[in-house]
Chains A and B, each alone.
Chain A
């Protein structure tokens, strides 16, 4: 007898083979994409930017996720707020620009005017019986984790954000992101499904062959390797790295920089991972010469040799917190086969461009790496469209975190009752 509830997506989720990449429709099917937007991006905490994006009262930023547009703003009490970018009059978009500064939030259609807490202050010609109190902008849940801004479009956001925040705050706090500034920002549309973008990010298997810039500061060993395949030289390198990690963690933790790995990529609703990793060479930063890109260090950090704290969140972010700068990435799905990746480079807010840092040097490694990754993602997307594509096996040594991403995704989709 046919199972009437056995829809396409539900069947695909149920028969997903652990340790293998997803079946092609997960990367190509517009209907599954619509479910992703609804169940993943509509119900989980989504990383969208940083507090310095809205540094001062009146600053506003617009984030579009699927059909939803959200205004993020800072009010006069210095609190960050989020609202649906939909005028309560006739639904016009209140703000159009990605980033802007406003006095109040004014819909340009009929000048309905809201304060920075969403309260309707002014609506002309609405008559005596009009109740402005019932027509404020609709709020959106927003949280700042030490300056990283997460929104949740659901009325009932996952409660374990607090657990993540409690664990992560000590790791992030020394970098004092709230007192940083966005020195540079790039938008890159990667020609692939958002899951391919994330999967690519969750492994460094591809690094040695594709990221000549990134592998100058970054030890590929930091994300796993197959020990039995290493030659003598390789074993020596691996041992040197393992010793370095151990020594570095001890040193960093002793001076107030939590460094040990925490990993809850697929066993929490708000999945995340962190670890402070040593860097190669001078060990200071993700730059071409591994030296700090900004002379003024973040927060109260006085030694540039604090490696790179990486922090990932499911479903859509990764970050590198260094002593001199922070690079932060947000992946926003555009359609089944395109994903917007926003990268922001932040330095201390008092650092002066051209004096303390140089934009080209600051951004070189990740500008190059992003372009390389976009190309790789594009190659996979093309493959997923091919009738010959079938899910392939992940490396147990270098792709276990990709597996955890897919496991989280499949688990969350099923938990949300994906049909």
Chain B
């Protein structure tokens, strides 16, 4: 669709009309209404239902995209960067990951008018379930999306909540939503924003907090952080470092919340979600995602580091020989041409087979990108 095409919307013409709530059970098609270039490698995709409907969700929740990439079916979840206070569209904000088939596909192929299938929103990483007078939002890289949603919601609703927002980026040019966050800080007296950069950007030396988030940064920027409800999202090492830092600072960890796509937890809490969710983009999930190429069948899937390769392949619609799924029978034995896995088998494979590069994919979790002869 041409960007200049005018899209008449009944909601603008008729204020009395209130569309129904979007229900992916009935219509799971979302249309890309706008693509925004946030930074050099981050884009926001604004999505609307194919037939007018409104989204109801809690800030911090995610949707799961159901993608078909080169014949490979992939499910990926993205936390919404949009605010439920603007219910007619949702937005996901995606960083391009080198070699990541999904993020590259989204960046390279989604245009206004593109259609996607999706389910959700769901998830329980949300400030809405932990009401507090004071919040601290900590984010790293594209992990900013759920806390941005929360910040936007509080700003739109003028809740008056005291929010301190500390975002870590590589350079000032990589601060996602920088202008909007600075605007919110100017217009909302109870909202404070600070960024921490590791390096200068070309033509923009950074004069703010420098390096990686440390306790000294936190003490300086948010001295009363111990009195705040903390929400953290970012790459797994970032979240782990924050956890350690807060614990060392004597923070009450009951008030610490982090986004996690840990499948064991998710499967217990929301089995229907777990079934749909295969992975989250590297930086928004605790689980890193690895690319798995099946050389003979020419298929490429993504596999989170906490999922066995066979399961990821099955979820992507591949039917590979397997039987016991417990590492006993060896039916799923494959040659691992490239990469490394962590394998807990049940006797279905011999050490010398492992030494010869064989793996049982039913009980092998990737610790790097993989190429499998299958």
- Choose the segment among B29-37, B143-151, B349-357 that binds chain A (4+ C-beta atoms closer than 8 Å): B349-357
Minimum distance in angstroms from A269 CB to a CB of chain B: 38
Q: Is A208 an interface residue (CB 8 A)?
A: no
Query: B120 an interface residue at 8 Å Cβ cutoff?
Result: no
**A383 within 8 Å of B by Cβ?**
no
Name the one of B324, B346, B347 contacting A111, with C-beta atoms under 8 angstroms.
B324
Closest chain-A Cβ to B14's Cβ sits at a distance in Å of 58
- Alpha-carbon distance A377/B350, docked complex (angstroms): 43
Decide if B324 touches A103 in the complex (CB within 8 Å).
no
Cβ contacts under 8 Å, A115 to chain B: 347
Interface size class of B (residues with CB under 8 A): 10 to 19
B330 touches A122 (CB 8 A): no
B347 adjacent to A103 (CB under 8 Å): yes
Q: Give min CB distance, A364 to chain B, whole Å.
A: 32
Is B350 a contact of A57 with CB atoms below 8 Å?
A: yes
Separation of A58 and B326 alpha carbons in the complex (Å): 18
Provide the residues of chain A in CB contact with B346, threshold 8 Å: 121
A127 to chain B minimum Cβ distance, whole angstroms, is 16
Asked if residues A124 and B353 are in contact (CB atoms below 8 Å), the reply is: no
Give chain A residues whose Cβ lies under 8 Å from the Cβ of B353: 101, 103
Interface contact B329-A122, CB-CB below 8 Å: yes
Judge whether B104 is part of the interface by a CB distance below 8 angstroms.
no
Assess the A56–B348 pair: CB atoms within 8 A. Answer: no
Within 8 Å by CB of B352, from A56, A104, A111, A124, lies A56
With an 8 A cutoff between CB atoms, is A28 at the interface?
no
Interface centre among B324, B331, B346, B352 (most CB of A within 10 A): B324
Are A124 and B350 closer than 8 Å at their CB atoms?
no
Nearest A-chain residue to B350, judged by Cβ: A58
Q: Would you call A101 and B352 a contact (CB within 8 A)?
A: yes
- B317-356 contacts to A, CB under 8 A, are 323-324, 326, 328-331, 333, 345-350, 352-353
Assuming the A-B contacts A122-B324, A124-B324, are A111 and B329 also in contact, with contact meaning beta carbons closer than 8 angstroms in the complex? Answer: yes
**A57 contacts across to B, CB distance below 8 A:** 350
Q: Which of A56, A58, A103 contacts B345 (CB 8 A)?
A: A103
Please name all residues of chain B whose beta carbon is closer than 8 Å to the beta carbon of A101 when the two chains form the complex. 350, 352-353
Q: B326 — which chain A residues lie within 8 A by C-beta? A: 122
Q: Is the CB of B350 within 8 A of A103?
A: yes
A347 CB, nearest partner CB in chain B, Å: 21
Contacts of B347 in A (CB 8 A): 76, 103-104, 115, 121
- Tell me, yes or no, whether A274 is within 8 Å of chain B by CB: no
Question: Contact between A111 and B350 (Cβ–Cβ < 8 Å)?
Answer: no
A113 partner, pick from B324, B345, B349, B352, beta carbons under 8 A: B324
The reply to whether B323 and A104 contact each other, CB–CB distance below 8 Å, is no
Write out the residue numbers on chain A whose beta carbons fall within 8 Å of the beta carbon of B328. Answer: 103-104, 113, 121-122
B130 to chain A: closest CB distance in Å? 44
- The closest CB in chain B to the CB of A101 belongs to B350
Are the CB atoms of B352 and A106 closer together than 8 Å?
no
Cβ contact of A124, chosen from B323, B333, B348, B349, cutoff 8 A: B323
In the assembled complex, A102 has its CB within 8 A of some CB on chain B: yes
Q: Nearest Cβ in chain B — how far from A78, in angstroms?
A: 13
Task: Point out the residues of chain A lying under 8 angstroms from B348, CB to CB.
Answer: 103-104, 106, 113
Instruction: Select from chain A the residue with minimum beta-carbon distance to B327.
Output: A103
Closest B residue by C-beta to A113: B329
Q: Which of B182-234 contact A (CB under 8 A)?
A: none
Residues of B within 8 Å of A124, CB to CB, are 323-324
Q: Give the residue name and chain of the A residue nearest to B323 (CB).
A: A111
Residues of chain B contacted by A121 (CB below 8 angstroms): 324, 328, 346-347
| Distance A57 CA – B347 CA, assembled complex (angstroms) | 11
Which residues from 89 to 139 on chain A have a C-beta closer than 8 Å to any C-beta of chain B?
101-104, 106, 111, 113, 115, 121-122, 124
The B-contacting residues of A in range 49-100, CB under 8 angstroms, are 56-58, 76
Chain A residues with CB under 8 A of B324: 111, 113, 121-122, 124
Could you give, for residues 164-202 of chain A, a 1 whenever the CB lies within 8 Å of some chain B CB and a 0 otherwise?
000000000000000000000000000000000000000
Within 8 Å CB of A56, what residues of B? 350, 352
- With a cutoff of 8 Å between Cβ atoms, the chain B residues found around residue A103 in the complex are 328, 330, 333, 345, 347-350, 353, 360
* Chain A nearest CB, measured from B328 CB (Å): 5
A102–B329 CB distance below 8 A: no
* Best-surrounded residue of B333, B347, B360 (most CB of chain A within 10 A): B347
Given the complex of chains A and B, what is the CA–CA distance between A57 and B333 in angstroms?
18
A121 to B328, CA, bound (A): 8
Taking the closest CB of chain A, its distance from the CB of B105, in whole angstroms, is 36
Complex-state Cα separation, A111 to B329, whole angstroms: 7
Report the minimum CB–CB distance from B8 to chain A (whole Å): 57
Nearest chain B CB to A404 CB, angstrom units: 45
B interface residues (Cβ-Cβ under 8 A, vs A): 323-324, 326, 328-331, 333, 345-350, 352-353, 360
Selected A-B contacts with CB under 8 Å, 7 pairs: A102-B330, A103-B328, A103-B360, A106-B331, A111-B324, A121-B324, A124-B324
Interface contacts beyond A106-B348, A111-B323: sample of 9 additional A-B pairs, CB < 8 Å, sorted by A = A58-B350, A58-B352, A103-B328, A103-B348, A103-B350, A103-B353, A106-B323, A106-B329, A113-B330
The 9 A-B pairs at the shortest CB distance, nearest first, are namely: A111-B323, A103-B348, A113-B329, A58-B350, A103-B349, A122-B324, A103-B330, A106-B329, A111-B329
